[in-house]
């Protein structure tokens, strides 16, 4: 009996058994009743908030021929808030304007007539065109051309550098014949011709 008593006392004092019991009971905890209410409030708050509602789903890769996947993607796009808002932002402020429509042109003209800025516009900012063929302007241009010294001298320089020779004058023909008689090249050419004929 003493031996069994000593063995039992040794087991009680053993640090290994103590730690084993501690490890077994470490993961077990007691949950009070008010903690259930707290968990319920947390779940209700997550349902009320939009956090989980706006969470994007994963994009899974699968075969493109799967009809159920295509239907699911189409339904997800229809329910997508970003796509809905992008369509709304695109359509916002877009109106149907037909360029050149009579009503639009009439309203533009009416707004120009009513415009205070155009009414009080300075006279020097108007767009205008002057008539270029009035007698006064033509007379001034012609007088300027006559009085222009550069044009006068250019015409004289042009006549200086161009000489006109009348062809067929006896002096001109005599000068041509003298040039042929004096020419060394013509003399040698005639000598070659005579030599080729055997004289």
Q: What percent of the chain is modeled with pLDDT above 70? A: 79
Euclidean distance between CA atoms 73 and 56, whole angstroms: 12
Is 61's pLDDT higher than 80?
A: no
What is the pTM (predicted TM-score) of this model?
A: 0.20
Q: What is the tally of structural domains in the chain?
A: 2
Question: Are 172 and 156 part of one and the same domain?
Answer: no
CB neighbours of 31 closer than 8 A, spacing ≥ 6?
A: none
What is the torsional sign of CA 107, 110, 114, 116?
A: positive
- As a whole number of angstroms, the distance between CA 157 and CA 116 comes to 61
CB atoms under 10 Å from CB of 58, counted, come to 4
pLDDT at residue 69 is higher than 70: yes
170 and 159 in a common domain: no
Which pLDDT does position 79 carry in this prediction?
Answer: 76
- What is the mean pLDDT of the segment spanning 3-16? 81
* 140 and 159 part of one domain: yes
**Residue 186 placed within a domain:** yes
Same domain, 151 and 170: no
Q: Please enumerate, as own/partner, the contacts of 172-177 that have beta carbons within 8 Å and a separation of 24 or more.
A: none
Instruction: Give the burial string for 152-185 (b: 16+ CB within 10 Å, else e).
Output: eeeeeeeeeeeeeeeeeeeeeeeeeeeeeeeeee
Query: Checking phi first, is residue 93 left (phi over 0); if not, alpha (psi -120 to 50) or beta?
Result: left
- What the block records as the tokens of 9 is 């006392």
177: containing domain: 166-198
Q: Specify if 105 maps to a domain.
A: no
Q: Average pLDDT over the chain, rounded to whole? A: 78
Residue 71 placed within a domain: no
- Res 60: pLDDT: 61
- Cβ 151 vs Cβ 145: under 8 Å: yes
* Backbone phi, psi, residue 185, to 5°: -65, -40
- Tell whether 81 is covered by a domain: no
Residue 176 lies in a domain: yes
Residues 172 and 194 both lie in one domain: yes
How far apart CA 51 and CA 5 sit, in angstroms, is 64
Pick 61 or 45 by higher pLDDT.
Answer: 45
The number of angstroms, rounded, from the C-alpha of 153 to the middle of its chain's C-alpha atoms is 56
pLDDT at residue 31 in the model? 64
Would you say residue 190 has pLDDT above 80?
yes
* Residue 154 resides in a domain: yes
Q: How far apart are the C-alpha atoms of 79 and 53, rounded to whole Å?
A: 11
Task: Place 170 in a pLDDT band, splitting at 50, 70 and 90.
Answer: confident
**How does pLDDT run across 99-138, given as a tens digit for each residue?**
777 888 888 888 888 887 777 777 677 676 667 788 888 8
| 23 inside domain | no
């Amino acid at each position: 009996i003493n031996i069994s008593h000593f063995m039992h006392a040794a087991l009680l004092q053993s640090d290994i058994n103590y730690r084993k019991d501690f490890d077994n009971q470490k993961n077990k905890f007691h949950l009070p009743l008010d903690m259930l209410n707290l968990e319920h409030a947390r779940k209700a708050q997550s349902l009320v908030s939009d956090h989980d509602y706006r969470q994007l789903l994963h994009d899974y890769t699968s075969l493109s021929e799967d009809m159920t996947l295509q239907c699911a993607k189409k339904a997800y796009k229809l329910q997508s808030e970003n796509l809905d808002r992008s369509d709304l932002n695109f359509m916002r402020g877009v109106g149907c304007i037909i360029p050149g429509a009579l009503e639009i042109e009439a309203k533009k003209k009416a707004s120009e007539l009513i415009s205070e800025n155009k009414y009080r516009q300075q006279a020097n900012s108007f767009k205008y065109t002057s008539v270029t063929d009035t007698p006064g302007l033509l007379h001034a241009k012609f007088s300027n051309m006559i009085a222009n010294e550069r044009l006068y001298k250019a015409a004289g320089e042009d006549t200086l550098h161009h000489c006109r020779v009348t062809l067929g004058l006896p002096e001109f023909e005599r000068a041509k014949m003298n040039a042929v008689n004096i020419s060394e090249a013509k003399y040698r050419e005639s000598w070659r011709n005579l030599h080729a004929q055997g004289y």
